[in-house]
């Protein structure tokens, strides 16, 4: 059993490894006649996985969200040559919620002297191959399913290390999967549109059936909130901006971009609080669409 690395290191391990999935995303074709019906998707996913890929997965459809649980062991391994990267910002707080029409967030993001860090873990190659197989299966079903009001809108893939107690959950909007498949958006943009959560818990150990997963029907508002938080982590964690960047402006740009990208208008205002500077920012819907802050 490997020692338990930090969640941040595990999260970066997935981000560094997930780019290997790109070759599987492209080249999809859509059948003119549906092969799969929405209500039967979980059964088909499990059957194809077992019969064609010798994979044991658990699939569950909750509303318009498809969950695929992939139980494995030793999903992370130490790299032979740790990848060097710089840490330029310290994210002490990053919170956002949409309640009663108000998109309210607070953050504490501080520029720090460049710190040299090393990515010590990566997803095991065999694990990546199995994740690839899961995406192959879903892609096959996605492009051959019936077109209906209750078709799958979101995909959640849960990769569980049931030996060591690690779990990685990745959430995707199926329209984004279609867009990257037909090269309407880039792979880098697709990565920014997906949402990732990594947890460590003793309850994951031995959970072959995913009984500890919080299955739920993802709503667009939840996806919007999760994506904004993910984009903030990527922007300041990788980092994607210079150390003298205006944090408030970058956060606002992320929120405006995400809301516009999905044409999400179910909000009355955006209220932000920079915990480091004590600055409060309020955006009306008109401000968001015009790209202006008050």
82 within 8 A of 207, measured Cβ to Cβ? no
Phi and psi of 48, rounded to 5°?
-65, -40
Tell which wins on pLDDT, 159 or 4.
159
What pLDDT does 72 receive?
Answer: 96
293 pLDDT above the threshold of 60? no
Which residues sit opposite 84 in a β-bridge? Answer: 118
Task: Please write the tens of the pLDDT for every residue from 244-289.
Answer: 999 999 999 999 999 999 999 999 999 999 999 999 999 999 999 9
Name the pLDDT band for 39 (thresholds 50, 70, 90). confident
C-alpha 161/C-alpha 286 separation (Å) is 46
Lowest-pLDDT range of 16-20, 206-210, 274-278: 16-20
Strand order in the sheet with 166-173: 58-62, 65-72, 154-161, 166-173, 195-200
Residue 206 region, left (φ>0) first, then alpha (ψ -120 to 50), else beta? left
Domains of the chain: which residue ranges? 7-75+124-214, 88-114+226-290
C-alpha 107/C-alpha 94 separation (Å) is 5
Query: Among all chains, which residue has been given the structure tokens 């915990």?
Result: 275
What pLDDT does 83 receive?
Answer: 84
Name the pLDDT band for 238 (thresholds 50, 70, 90). confident
32 pLDDT above the threshold of 60? no
What pLDDT does 117 receive?
Answer: 86
Mean pLDDT, range 186-204, rounded to an integer: 91
Task: Please write the tens of the pLDDT for every residue from 88-120.
Answer: 999 999 999 999 999 999 999 999 999 888 888
Mean pLDDT, range 191-215, rounded to an integer: 93
Lowest-pLDDT range of 22-31, 189-198, 281-290: 22-31
What pLDDT does 145 receive?
Answer: 79
148 pLDDT above the threshold of 90? no
Q: Does pTM top 0.75 for this prediction?
A: yes
5 pLDDT above the threshold of 60? no
Average pLDDT, the chain: 88
Name the pLDDT band for 237 (thresholds 50, 70, 90). confident
What pLDDT does 25 receive?
Answer: 47
C-alpha 172/C-alpha 153 separation (Å) is 9
What pLDDT does 17 receive?
Answer: 54
What pLDDT does 38 receive?
Answer: 86
Q: What percent of the chain has pLDDT over 90?
A: 64
172 pLDDT above the threshold of 50? yes
């Amino acid at each position: 059993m490997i020692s338990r690395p930090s969640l941040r290191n595990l999260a970066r391990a997935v981000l560094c490894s997930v780019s290997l999935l790109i070759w599987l995303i492209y080249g999809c074709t859509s059948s003119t006649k549906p092969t799969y019906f929405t209500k039967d998707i979980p059964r088909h996913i499990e059957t194809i996985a077992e019969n064609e890929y010798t994979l044991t997965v658990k699939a569950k459809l909750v509303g318009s969200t498809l969950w695929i649980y992939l139980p494995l062991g030793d999903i992370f391994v130490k790299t032979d040559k740790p990848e060097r990267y710089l840490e330029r910002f310290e994210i002490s707080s990053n919170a956002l919620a949409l309640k009663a029409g108000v998109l309210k967030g607070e953050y504490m993001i501080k520029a720090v002297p460049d710190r040299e860090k090393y990515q010590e873990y990566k997803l095991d190659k065999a694990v990546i191959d199995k994740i690839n197989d899961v995406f192959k299966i879903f892609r096959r079903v996605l492009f051959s399913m019936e077109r209906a009001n209750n078709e799958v809108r979101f995909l959640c893939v849960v990769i569980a290390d049931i030996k060591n107690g690690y779990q990685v959950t990745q959430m995707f909007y199926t329209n984004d999967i279609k867009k990257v498949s037909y090269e309407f958006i880039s792979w880098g943009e697709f990565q920014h549109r997906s949402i990732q959560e990594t947890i460590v818990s003793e309850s994951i150990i031995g959970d072959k059936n995913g009984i500890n997963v919080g299955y739920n029907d993802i709503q667009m508002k939840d996806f919007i909130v999760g994506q904004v938080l993910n984009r903030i982590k990527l922007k300041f964690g990788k980092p994607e901006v210079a150390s003298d960047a205006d944090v408030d402006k970058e956060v606002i740009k992320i929120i405006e971009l995400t809301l516009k990208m999905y044409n999400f208008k179910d909000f009355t205002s955006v209220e932000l609080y920079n915990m480091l500077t004590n600055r409060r920012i309020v955006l009306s819907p008109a401000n968001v669409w015009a790209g202006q802050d008050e």
